[in-house]
Amino acid sequence: MYKKLTYVRSKQLLRMVAELECQHCGAYPSQAAHSNWHGKGMGLKSSDVNVAALCLRCHWEVDQGNKLSKEERKKMWMDAHKKTVQTMLSRGKWPQDIEIPDLT
């Protein structure tokens, strides 16, 4: 049985993610970069739990870059997403009212 996808919209979560350093290259400032691979379509962005803290350059590379293959861009985002969630949890910054995304 499939779990129903719940879209989370949280300005608080997005602000907190953007306070982190880039989880790919370490640059600061960063921004909350939504996934291009999770629950997106029909004019909807992915749920706000599917974000990674990426600097402008890395965010651009994931979304529009042509130096990496689609698979490499996806891996770059997934690695940064996992680091983002883990960093927020280790710092006690993940909002208690938002379910922690599955990182597997």
Domain range annotation of the chain: 11-90
C-alpha radius of gyration, the chain, whole number: 13
Query: Which phi and psi angles does 5 have, rounded to 5°?
Result: -75, 125
11: which DSSP letter? H
C-alpha 81/C-alpha 79 separation (Å) is: 5
Predicted pLDDT of residue 4: 53
Against a cut of 0.75, is the pTM above it?
yes
Q: What is the pLDDT of residue 2?
A: 42
Per-residue pLDDT tens, the chain, 104 aa: give them: 445 556 788 999 999 999 999 999 999 999 999 988 765 555 667 889 999 999 999 999 999 989 999 999 999 999 999 999 999 999 999 999 998 988 87
CA distance 18 to 53: 6
**Residue 43 and residue 69 in contact, taking contact as beta carbons nearer than 8 Å:** no
- The fold of the 11-90 domain, in CATH, is Erythroid Transcription Factor GATA-1; Chain A (3.30.50)
